[in-house]
Structure 1
Amino acid sequence: MQQHLFVYGTLGPNKPNAHILEAIAGTWNKGSVKGLLKEAGWGAELGFPGLMLSPDGQTIDGYMFSSEQLDTLWNSLDEFEGSEYQRVLT
């Protein structure tokens, strides 16, 4: 089953941690979500602040990664992002 992951930071194409998603086959498309950026988390040091989804927030541009193999990476992605990260459906 095709699954999707929105990324706006270090996991995106040509970003410092893109290699993590390169381990599985998939496609990239530009995308966006509404939210608020928060200067917190380890990614903030790299210019990628935390994201809190909010329908009243600003448009946050990023990428949608689509793959039938994402289910093999969910646990690894959660561990990679750390305890401050919370994966949510959008």
Structure 2
Amino acid sequence: MNDITPQELKTLKEEGTPINLLDVREEFEYDEYNLDGKLIPLGDLPHRLDELEDWKEKEIIVHCKSGGRSATAKNFLASKGFKNVRNLLQGAEGYKKLS
């Protein structure tokens, strides 16, 4: 699945499109600035997959601060059978620049 740009995500949010947004940053990063996604830090992801079971067949947009950790999470989720996972290019930092 193709990754998504900050502008594409912003458009989806402005249109009110339902989004399954997964934030794989650490809690302190989430507390500083977040996009209202579900927080599961990358290191916890293997142990918390059951929390995402309802999303397995749905589109998931994964993000971190700049796109590196979320790219790892995307590949991990795909390897576990998640069908439609997209990485937010430039991460939360890229999205924040749009505001």
Query: Which category describes the TM-score, using the shorter chain as reference length?
Result: under 0.3
Q: Which structure shows the higher helix fraction? A: 2
Q: TM-score, structure 2 length as denominator?
A: 0.25
Q: Which structure shows the higher strand fraction? A: 1
